[in-house]
Every structure is written in C-alpha cells, then in structure tokens.
Amino acid sequence: MSRTSSLAPRAAVAGPLVALLLALGRHGSAAEPPNPAANPAPASASPFRFLTVSEESLGLWEGDRPVLVYHHGVVTREGVPADRARSTYIHPLYGLDGEVLTDDFPADHTHHRGLFWAWPHVKIGTAHHDLWMLRGVRQSFEHWLARETGPDTALLGVENGWYVGAKRVLREQAWFRIHRATAQGRAVDVEFVWEPTEQPVTLAGAEGKSYGGLTLRFAPRTQTVITTPLGQGPDDLAMTRLPWADLSARFAGRDTPSGAAIFISPSHPDYPPMWLTRHYGVLCVGWPGSNRRHSSRANPSAAGTGSGSTAGRPMATRWPALMRIMPRVNRGGGSKTTRPPG
C-alpha cells in the first residue's frame, strides 16, 4: 500500500531511545531475485517497493537497488544443526549499490544472524531461556502491522511473539522506517516494543562481556577498523560504555570502504549503555548489559512509554535505530564519525 502522508508508527510505540547509524559505502552491485527493474513503477509513484523474496522473506528495493531483506519465516541452512533455525531479523542489509554488509550462519558463530535483537538471559517467571543461542525461547512472526511506501520513506511494521513451546510469553512490535538514499546516505529508523503476556519477563546480557541486545554481524571483509569516542585500535571492547561505535572495512573485494556506526540517543535508559565490539565483525549495543531489566504484564490502561523497569507498563524500549549510508568517499580505512544529525 502506498501513502504520501507521514509514515509514523502507531501511537503505542514509545519515545526515541536509540539511534543506529549504518555507514554503508557505495561500490559495485550484486544480483538478487526478484528484479524490480523488470516491472518499473510509474514516475509519480513511490521509489520504494516491497517484493516477496521467498515464502520466508520480504525484500525492499528503492528503484532497482536492494535495501534489505526481512526474514519473517523460519530460516535454516544445510549442514547447520536444526537447533540453529531462526527468524525475525534482517539479512542482507545492502550498501547503496548492492554490496552485502551482513552475514548469516557464519561458521565461527552460527547463531549470529545479520541485524538481530536477542539476549542470552531471558527469564520468564522462574524459568531461564537463551534467545541469543536460540535455546528454549523463539521469536515467531504473527502479522504485518505495515508495509507502506511514500515519496520519501517506506514503513515496515511487524508483530512477533516470543514463544516457549506453544505458549506465547511476550508480544513484540518491530518497526523499520526506511528513507530515500541521498548524496550523504540513507537513514533507516528501527523501533521495538516488548510486552509480556502473562508472567514477568527479565532480560540480561552476558556477564563479563555484555553482549545481548541490538546486534549487527558483518559480512566477510578485509582491513577492518573499529572507531569509538576512545579512538581506533586493534583491541576489542567489552563492558564499555559508549555513545557510538563504527566499523569500516572493505567488503566483497571492493576497493573503497563501507561500514556501520551505531549511535545511542541520550534518552536511552542507562545512557550510555554497555557495548561489545569484535574485530571479527560485531557491533553489539549490550543493553541492559549484565544488569537485568524486568517487566510485568502491561496494564491495558497504562501508557506505553515506560522504560521497562516499572511493573504494569510495557517494556516499551522503543529503540529508534538510525541507519545511514555515508558519502561515497574513501575514509582512509577508518571513520570520521561524530554524532548523527539531530
């Protein structure tokens, strides 16, 4: 469905807490089915279109350029154990000319999955589960909230359930607002709301490392450089509070770098949150880190604007994530990232 009005998420979504900036370089192109150029839209229509990639996946294109693929169905891979089946994530996330920025089922960590959100400690009542490693609890698609396109943005809204066996234990809304590419880049805002259905739900990251939360696993690449407000260096970071971090590298044999930088809004709980960075290809906003974040079932009359720590409110950590493709320049193997505009 196409709309020319503002494509705002529904009122149930809370205020901005996280800004994610993906600095994606521009080089080369990659082939991917289907081909939107085979059925061009009228000049007056939105440049965006959603197209079915498979029974499990929905893709978004701007003109004939791929932007991302969202996997709503269960994805498996031959040769990988069945307990690594996953859904509810983005892969690939593309650069402006089709270079793939993300990885799925990497051999070193087969549970990693593109741009995803998961925690190693998910406590439901008194039972412990591990969404990070896909053990005991799973995310499952329930229905679309929006698949809308306008002249400047596209909006994808999804409602998922977290399930233990056949029982839904948490309601999740995920929103992705994708902006048109410009000479400076592309912005994609990402927002989440979580609401337990019956028993209280507690989330926590890994002790001593802080992974667990919004995570970006990068595709194979060379000349990786991670930049933070602390500078650049070969060392990985864990349990480190940061307002932003950037990874740049040369992807798929390209001659110029691409990358991604994640910015955190000052209004985010526990700002700045803990991070985990890995030069093998991970940026992880480790919220809430090893500190547990608890939420009880929402009171239907309560506004969905809580931080997630107050009983009777949704765990409404709406995480707007601002993803932006940076200018087409060689950044010299590193990023000059500061703060996102606004």
Residue 238, in any domain of the structure: yes
Q: Domain range holding 200?
A: 19-28+109-324
Residue 65, in any domain of the structure: no
Residue 309, in any domain of the structure: yes
Residue 336, in any domain of the structure: no
Which tens digit of pLDDT belongs to each residue from 132-180? 999 999 999 999 999 999 999 999 999 999 999 999 999 999 999 998 9
Distance CA 90, CA 92 (A): 6
Residue 96, in any domain of the structure: no
Distance CA 58, CA 176 (A): 13
Which tens digit of pLDDT belongs to each residue from 120-133? 999 998 999 999 99
pLDDT of residue 40: 54
**HEC states along the chain?**
CECCCCCCCCCCCCCCCCEEECCCCCCCCCCCCCCHHHCCCCCCCCCEEEEEEECCEEEEEECCEEEEEEECCCECCCCCCHHHCECCEEEEEECCCCCECECECCCCCCCCECEEEECCEEEECCEEEECCCCECCEEEEEEEEEEEECCCEEEEEEEEEEEECCEEEEEEEEEEEEECCCCCCCEEEEEEEEEECCCCEEEECCCCCCCCEEEEEECCEEEEEEEECCEECCCCEEEEECCEEEEEEEECCCCCCEEEEEECCCCCCCCCCEEEEECCCEEEECCCCCCCEEECCCCCCCCCCCCCCCCCCCECCCCCCCEECCCCCCCCCCCCCCCCCC
% of the chain at pLDDT higher than 90? 50
Structural domain count of the chain: 1
Which tens digit of pLDDT belongs to each residue from 262-287? 777 777 778 888 999 999 999 999 88
Averaging pLDDT over each range in 36-40, 99-103, 113-117, 299-303, which range is the top one?
A: 113-117
pLDDT of residue 314: 52
Question: Token digits for 141?
Answer: 């698609």
Question: If you search the block for the tokens 């500190």, which residue do you land on?
Answer: 291
Q: For the whole prediction, is pTM greater than 0.85?
A: no
Residue 263, in any domain of the structure: yes
Residue 23, in any domain of the structure: yes
Residue 13, in any domain of the structure: no
